Structure 1
Amino acid sequence: MLTYPNFDPVIVRVGPLAIRWYGLMYLIGFAAAWFLIGFLARKRQLDLTGDRLSDLLFHGVLGVILGGRIGYVIFYNFGYFVRHPLEIFAVWQGGMSFHGGLIGVTLAGLWFCRKNRLPPMLTADIIATSATIGLGLGRLGNFINGELWGRVTDVPWGMVFPQAGLMPRHPSQLYELALEGVVLFLILFWLNMRQVWEGIPFFTFFLGYGVFRFIVEFFRQPDPQLGFLWGGATMGQLLSLPMVIFGLGGLCWVFKRRGG
């Protein structure tokens, strides 16, 4: 069994204000996305310079935050927020859904492409690749916060999380960091460097994330307010299945359209 480092989730306090590691992960993720989008846009000859790049990042941030929060409210704790509607706006208390954020950033990206007359598939390829950095850093933030831990285990690298009882658990946040962050980033970055057909990195993101998340959910403790759902599946698995289907269908569409 490994010892959980027991991080302080707060980096520094200034009066009533607190700078938290989780928030810092978001900021680093958005900053890294800005640089990566600029690099990939030049590589793939997409006109994303100056104000356009800043505008795209603004739309993306807005889509992630609004979509992530609304998704959490609908998918994970709808009954509670119906009873306490004002707490929907208390984002500082935590509660963001990846799948909701994905819907939000997709809609924001489509709006941006329509407004700027940019090719949606190529733009989506680049956005999806940059999003993996934020995904990985977000899972690192979860680990630092000691939240979203895994199921009880006897593997040698199991950890006792301070808020999860006395039994060692899978550090599932690190599994997601490795798969959804590092591995998925490397795959999508390589595809972009090869300058594959437009749409392949985008649909590969959906397929890869859906598969990785579905697998990790077998090691992650379900949300306490939901528990296990149909057939012992978790909400994360149920939401990831449509991503796998969409990714596979999209890749087939690209190959069929390009292959003639």
Structure 2
Amino acid sequence: MLAYPNISPVALSLGPVQVHWYGLMYLFAFLTGWGLARWRASRPAWAAAGWSGQKVDDLLTWIMLGVVAGGRFGYVLFYDLPAYLDQPSEIFKIGTGGRTFHGRLIGVLLMGWWWSRRNKKKFMDVVDFVAPLVPPGLFFGRIGNFINGELWGGVTDGPLGMVFPTGGPLPRHPSQLYEAGLEGLVMFAVLWAYSSKIRPTGRVSGLFAVLYGVFRFAVEFVRQPDPQLGYLAFGWLTMGQLLCVPLLIAGFWLLFRPVKA
């Protein structure tokens, strides 16, 4: 069994102002994605395709809004809609927690679609450009979950088990770290290498969708389901797995659809 490091969620206190690690993870994610996007836009192939530092700055500003708003509203819609219908004012209290990747993805796609129309670029070309920038954000987000001691996994007697302060006395899977490694580090390495040259439209996005769908679906088997939902069917199917199904279908279609000559 491993010892949980029990890091304080507050990274820095300046009088009454507290800076939380989870908030810093959003900052780290955005800065990393912005730096990578700027670097890629400066490469000859992408510059020739119409990308520039100014376009990156504009696009990522709107995408950040999609991440924040989409993550919140996705959680409300998919994970706890009845509770929020009873108290609609709680929907807008973003600082109280409750965010989900699939909602963030919808928010990013909507902002990307709006931006692509405004800038007269093909929507899927924009998504292909953005997709390799997402895994670092997933990595930082899961590290933030780990520091907060939230979203831990099920009980285990394996060597990787940890006793989380909010998870009871029994050791649990550090599923946040599993996701940080798979959805963050592994996905980034594969996607960045694959997208190092311009691929047929939709291929990079398809690979992203398949990798995320497979990794998230697998980790959900050892991740504790949300208490208000539990398992949806078969004694193992979670909402996270269910939401991965359309993502996997879309991903495989984008990867293997015929390319127009």
Deviation at 1:85, TM superposition (A): 1.1
C-alpha RMSD of the superposition = 1.3
Alignment-derived partner of residue 137 in structure 1: 140
Matched AA of 1:13: S
Deviation at 1:118, TM superposition (A): 1.9
Following the alignment from structure 1 to structure 2, what is the Cα–Cα distance between the partners of residues 129 and 120? 15
SS at match of 1:231: coil
Following the alignment from structure 2 to structure 1, what is the Cα–Cα distance between the partners of residues 53 and 254? 31
Q: Which of 159-168 and 77-86 deviates more?
A: 77-86
Alignment-derived partner of residue 5 in structure 1: 5
Following the alignment from structure 1 to structure 2, what is the Cα–Cα distance between the partners of residues 243 and 112? 22
Deviation at 1:175, TM superposition (A): 0.4
Deviation at 1:168, TM superposition (A): 0.4
Do 2:162 and 2:173's aligned partners in 1 also have CA atoms closer than 8 Å?
yes
Alignment-derived partner of residue 71 in structure 1: 74
Do 1:40 and 1:192's aligned partners in 2 also have CA atoms closer than 8 Å?
no
Matched AA of 1:74: L
Do 2:41 and 2:56's aligned partners in 1 also have CA atoms closer than 8 Å?
no
Following the alignment from structure 2 to structure 1, what is the Cα–Cα distance between the partners of residues 42 and 212? 26
Following the alignment from structure 2 to structure 1, what is the Cα–Cα distance between the partners of residues 206 and 41? 18
Structure 2 counterpart of 1:117, from 107, 120, 132: 120
Following the alignment from structure 2 to structure 1, what is the Cα–Cα distance between the partners of residues 256 and 2? 44
Is 1:247 the counterpart of 2:256? The answer is no
Q: Percent identity at matched positions?
A: 49
Matched AA of 2:64: V
Do 1:8 and 1:144's aligned partners in 2 also have CA atoms closer than 8 Å?
yes
Deviation at 1:39, TM superposition (A): 1.8
List per-residue Cα deviations over 1:155-177 (Å, max 9, x = no partner). 11100000000000000000000
Structure 1 pair 66–74 and aligned structure 2 pair: CA distance change class (3 A): same
Deviation at 1:66, TM superposition (A): 0.8
Matched AA of 2:202: G
- The runs of at least 4 consecutive aligned structure 1 residues that moved more than 6 Å come to none
Matched AA of 2:116: C
Alignment-derived partner of residue 259 in structure 2: 257
Q: Which of 144-153 and 198-207 deviates more?
A: 198-207
Deviation at 1:124, TM superposition (A): 1.1
Alignment-derived partner of residue 23 in structure 2: 23
Do 2:128 and 2:205's aligned partners in 1 also have CA atoms closer than 8 Å?
yes
Alignment-derived partner of residue 197 in structure 1: 200
Matched AA of 1:205: F
Give the gaps of 5 or more residues in structure 1. none
Matched AA of 1:230: A
Q: TM-score, normalised by structure 2?
A: 0.95
Alignment-derived partner of residue 126 in structure 1: 129
Length, aligned pairs only: 257
Do 1:41 and 1:126's aligned partners in 2 also have CA atoms closer than 8 Å?
no
Give the gaps of 5 or more residues in structure 2. none
Matched AA of 1:101: R
Is 1:210 the counterpart of 2:227? The answer is no
Alignment-derived partner of residue 168 in structure 1: 171
Q: Which of 37-46 and 26-35 deviates more?
A: 37-46
List per-residue Cα deviations over 1:83-141 (Å, max 9, x = no partner). 11111111111111100110110110011111111232222112111011101110010
Do 1:29 and 1:137's aligned partners in 2 also have CA atoms closer than 8 Å?
yes
Following the alignment from structure 1 to structure 2, what is the Cα–Cα distance between the partners of residues 217 and 180? 12
SS at match of 2:28: helix
Do 1:214 and 1:236's aligned partners in 2 also have CA atoms closer than 8 Å?
yes
SS at match of 2:11: strand
Do 1:132 and 1:180's aligned partners in 2 also have CA atoms closer than 8 Å?
yes
Matched AA of 1:242: P
Matched AA of 2:2: L
Following the alignment from structure 1 to structure 2, what is the Cα–Cα distance between the partners of residues 176 and 194? 27
Following the alignment from structure 1 to structure 2, what is the Cα–Cα distance between the partners of residues 225 and 87? 16
Q: TM-score, normalised by structure 1?
A: 0.95
